[in-house]
Structure 1
Amino acid sequence: MRLLSHLFALVALLVLAAQPLAAQSVLRDAETEAFLDEIAAPLVEAAGLEPGNVEMVLINDPSLNAFVAGGQAIYLHSGLIDAADSANEVQGVIAHELGHITGGHINRIGEGYAKAGNISLLSMLAGIGAALAGSTDAAMGLMMAGQSAALSSVLSFTRTQEASADAAGAEYLSRAGISGRGSLSFFGKLLNMEMRRGFSQDEEAGFWRTHPLSGDRISTLRGTYEKDPAWNKPSDPALEARFQRVKAKLMGYVAKPEHTLRDYPESDTSTPALVARAYAYHKQAKMERALGTADLLIERAPADPYFLELKGQVLLESGRPDEALTYLREATTLSRAEPLIASLFGHALIATEDETNYEEAERVLRASVGRDRYNPFAWYQLGVVYAARGDMPRARLASAEQQVMKREYALAMRSAQAAEAGLPVGSPDWLRAQDIGMQARALLEQQCEMSKDRSCRRRR
């Protein structure tokens, strides 16, 4: 039964790894994304990849984790940012995940499962043979031994991949001239967390682990890092200061306000503390306090687009879009029309319900989705302004864009068909409607096959 429980746990783990975003939400913030891209860039280059091709994605999940799931995207949990004490620690995690990407570990994981499947199949055949010969006890023993060997094979395969990613990550940190101190510090956090939760570090417990023993990883990496010329290199103070801002903003956004105000009390007048409290007050609907805190930030840095964005967001979500326009327009200009900030500005233009603002809203939102197509909020706002201006075919097209990103494939297919019927034949938007319709149909077919739902096709 112990073996079966481990097998079921492993299967559950593999299912979650296969579809990691199914029940999780992506957190998007212009400042955070810019920061993550900046600290990852030297590591991406050291790994021999193009920085613009590696995407950093923040997941709203309090657990301390990071992963890759195919392609060149690294997923970081919000809990990891919260647990990290420095940008250098996050860089250590990113370097490790880059090791998984360059090692092709997601693509090769099928090799480990295939080997385990062969072991399991052979044990089943041997067990059937023993059963036919009249020895049921021997048959059961052969089958269980085979399942144990298969599980051991899979776990050994994943541990090998993790050790390989550790080594590659250390190499990339070295090439980038970044100290491995943060990497060791973060592994220390993992070790402490495991020990607090009662996870044994002995070899018997290690058999059941998908990762090498944390103590062994620290010992191995320490020997590598301490020999590296960058070991004693200090972190960039400006980068670390920005990390503290990003960390505070994240807590202010995702944590309960009382927890934020506990960790960032009013006696703390640092910039990160003001950022965190502004969001906490906003979530408590204490708008004047939120606005006053945003004003303090703007006084410190009048040309900081993220502080202007913050005040504009509070005003907009407080039902004062006309006042928000000044701050969001300036934030859009100073950030060189950063897509997420621009989409918020476009939303504010629409929220004024002033038809003279719709032309500018359309222009701003089209530019936003032109630079970042994967923003359902911007597509929704663009659909609203198209509908308000009577352009229903393009409103339908915008709906299709955001519906396919939300996995609403049947709705996306219908919206795309309606858009195609009303758009000029052969125009770029008409072609895009065709593309989305075919994409939604293919994804819906795939969804039906995976769900084995016989009524799926009829509903479609």
Structure 2
Amino acid sequence: MRRWLRAAAIALASLALVAKPVMAQQILRDAETEAFMADMSGPLVSAAGMEPRNVQVLVLNDPEINAFVAGGQYVWVHSGLIAAADNVNQLQGVVAHELGHIEGGHIIRSSEGMKAATGITLLSLVLGAAAIAAGGAEAGMGILGMGQQAAMGKFLAFSRAQESSADLAGARYLSKAGLSGKGSLEFFKKLQNQEYRLAIPQEDSYGRTHPLSGERINVLREVYTVDPAWDRPVDPKLEARFERIKAKLVGFVSEPTQTLIKYPESDQSLPAHYARAYAWHKSAYPDKAIAEVNALLAAQPHDPYFLELKGQVLLESGRPADAIPPLREAVQLTQQPLIATMLGHALIATEDDKNFAEAEQVLRNAVARDRENPFAWYQLGVVYERRGDTPRAALATAERYALMGQDQMALRSADAAMQALKPGTVDYLRAQDIAMVSRAAIEQKRKKK
């Protein structure tokens, strides 16, 4: 009897796990990529009835072709999906679909599907246990097995319904934004080809969380081909930005040898120079990396992201003083906090006291615009420590540990800051908030053990 109860509990746990996306991947923060994602998705977000400034499309370092939402107004796109996309319209089709999940509240409503499935499992558990208790072990086994199968089928049907709903919602957003659905169909065809290669049966999608790609193509083709935007071309400027983003992403995440095969020396386009600059930098050939960046700057001397890359290569090659001018210009052009953080790092890395005042100002501005950057808080803590401001160094450290989820260290640093800061000040109240949240998180974890 205990064995069957344990089997039923495992079945229930497996249902709960189905709806949880994996969040262990590395988030790729990049100023140019985030600006592009915001501009690329902005019309779709507005078409979905949401405020563009409240929705973020972020990139995860994962080679799989995937995208998902996991609560809040965040769309997570795998680096592998961007590398697989042929044009910006394909990426827009994927993002439109994911926005459909957000607008439809599917993450929140997924509990409804799990509740229905759990109800079936519990009923089969009761009936199976009763049969076993009455001496019908074989009948009880059959009831439990059929119950688990029915529960999983119920949940999968719920999931497929959500996916189909998001498909149609994405089609509406594309239409309202005046964007063609060709990219969406093209990307589904890519997924269909992947299904063929994996020998996934194409008869029906009963045992899947998503409808088969062929099923989705058939439905969406009827919607897209009659839309006024069907033959509308891709914005060439946005497409050019996509090619740059794709190239730098390949250069950053791929092995350098693979990057150099994909973007050989014979390719003198801007995206190719971009990709090779990252490949040479990763391979510890700073001179070759700088040569590629200089080729980019020769074409566009004041492009802030080319200047940022030059500063990065110089800084990470042990030349922080040389990195400051291009990074300073990049910050002046964009006011982008990620680039400002790199400038602050370069100023500190010179170990010249004359640069610390500028570093503090730059980093304070950076965290004011983007508080969710642990490295910026670390650098600001270094500046405070260097000038003897121990309380604010402790507060910056508390901010960093809180963002990293290290509650014990965050609490310890926040308490240290409060002991030296004047009660009632803005910094004291912030340290108090961090201490309160960290203490609550520690207590919650303790109760779960």
TM-score (norm 2): 0.96
1:82-121 alignment runs, 5 A limit: 82-121=83-122
Aligned-partner Cα distance in 1 for 2:232–2:175: 11
What's the RMSD between the two structures over aligned residues? 1.7
1:358 maps to 356
2:289 partner amino acid: A
What is residue 277 of structure 1 aligned with on the other side?
A: 276
Please give the per-residue CA displacement for 1:137-173, whole angstroms capped at 9, x wherever unaligned.
Answer: 1111111111111010000000000000001000000
1:446 deviates by 3.1
Q: Conserved in 1, the CA contact under 8 Å of 2:378 and 2:397? A: yes
Aligned counterparts, 1:159-238, within 5 A:
159-203=160-204, 206-238=205-237
After superposition, residues 11-410 of structure 1 pair within 5 angstroms as 15=17, 17-18=19-20, 20-21=22-23, 23-203=24-204, 206-335=205-334, 337-410=335-408
CA gap 1:11/1:223 in 2 versus in 1, 3 angstroms:
farther
C-alpha distance in structure 2 between counterparts of 1:117 and 1:267, whole Å: 59
Going from structure 1 to structure 2, the CA distance change for 1:8 and 1:197 (only over 3 Å counts) comes to farther
Q: Which amino acid aligns with 1:82?
A: A
Match of 2:59, SS? strand
Go from structure 1 to structure 2 and tell me whether the alpha carbon gap of 1:8 and 1:200 turns closer, same or farther (over 3 Å shift): farther
Q: Is the CA contact 2:19–2:110 (under 8 Å) kept in the aligned structure 1? A: no
CA distance in 1 between partners of 2:288 and 2:329 (Å): 22
In the alignment, what sits opposite 2:412?
Answer: 414
Q: Distance in 2 between matches of 1:58 and 1:9?
A: 33
**Post-superposition CA distance 1:186-242 (Å, at most 9, x none):** 111111112111222122xx2210001111001100110001000000000111111
Query: Structure 2, unaligned stretches of length 5 or more?
Result: 1-5
* CA displacement 1:232-253 (0-9 Å, x = unmatched): 0000011111100000000111
Give the conservation status (yes or no) of the 8 Å contact 2:185–2:221: yes
Maintained 8 Å contact 2:131/2:140: yes
Cα shift at 1:12: 5.9
Q: In the aligned structure 1, how far is the partner of 2:257 from the partner of 2:177?
A: 40
Contact 2:380 2:393 in 1 (8 A): yes
Q: Contact 1:58/1:75 (CA < 8 Å) preserved in 2?
A: yes
Cα offset, 1:13, TM superposition = 8.3
Is the Cα–Cα contact under 8 Å of residues 12 and 121 in structure 2 kept in the other structure? no
Return closer, same or farther for 1:286/1:419 CA change in 2, 3 Å cut-off.
same
**1:423 alignment partner in structure 2:** 421
Given residue 392 of structure 1, which amino acid in structure 2 is its aligned partner? T
Contact 1:401 1:436 in 2 (8 A): yes
**Unmatched segments (≥5 aa) in structure 1:** 453-460
Shift of 1:424: 1.4
Over residues 14-59 of structure 1, what are the superposed CA-to-partner deviations in whole Å (9 max), with x where a residue is unaligned?
A: 53753632x2111000000000000100000000000000011111
Distance of 2:323 and 2:10 partners within structure 1 = 52
Rate the CA distance shift 1:200–1:298 in 2: closer, same or farther, 3 A: same
Alpha-carbon distance between aligned partners in 1 of 2:285 and 2:10, rounded to the nearest angstrom: 48
- Report the equivalent of 1:455: none
With over 3 angstroms needed to count, the CA separation of the structure-2 counterparts of 1:159 and 1:19, relative to structure 1, is closer
- In the comparison of the two structures, how many residue pairs are matched? 443
CA contact (8 A) 1:17 1:69 kept: no
Aligned identity (percent) is 57
How far has the Cα of 1:9 moved from its partner? 10
The 1-side partners of 2:62 and 2:402 are apart by 23
The Cα shift of 1:79 comes to 0.7
Contact 1:44 1:51 survives alignment (8 Å): yes
Q: For residue 34 of structure 1, what is the amino acid of its counterpart? A: A
Retained in 1: the 8 A contact 2:312–2:323?
yes
Mean CA deviation greater in 264-273 or 431-440: 431-440
User: Which amino acid in the other structure matches residue 361 of structure 1?
Assistant: A
Give the secondary structure class of the aligned counterpart of 1:200: coil
Task: Return the alpha-carbon distance in structure 1 between the equivalents of residues 62 and 160 of structure 2.
Answer: 24
> Equivalents in 2 of 1:444, 1:175: separation in Å?
46
Equivalent pair of 1:91/1:182 in contact (CA under 8 Å): yes
Aligned pair in 2 of structure 1 residues 38, 155: CA closer, same or farther (>3 Å)?
Answer: same
In the aligned structure 2, how far is the partner of 1:51 from the partner of 1:316?
Answer: 34
Distance of aligned partners of 1:414 and 1:429 in 2 relative to their CA distance in 1, 3 Å threshold: same
- For the 8 Å contact 1:201–1:214, the answer to whether it is kept is no
8 A contact 2:15–2:152 mirrored in 1: no
Deviations 1:314-348 (A, max 9, x none): 0000100111111100111011x110011100110
AA of the residue aligned to 1:18? K
Q: What is the alpha-carbon distance in structure 2 between the residues aligned to residue 212 and residue 419 of structure 1?
A: 54
Q: 1:138 to 1:17 in 2, by over 3 A?
A: closer
Q: 2: distance between equivalents of 1:38 and 1:165?
A: 21
The one-letter amino acid paired with 2:198 is R
CA contact (8 A) 2:12 2:118 kept: no
What amino acid sits opposite 1:267 in the alignment? S
Q: 1:165 to 1:215 in 2, by over 3 A?
A: same
TM-score (norm 1): 0.94
Query: Cα deviations across residues 415-442 of structure 1 (Å, max 9, x unaligned)?
Result: 0110111111111111100111111122
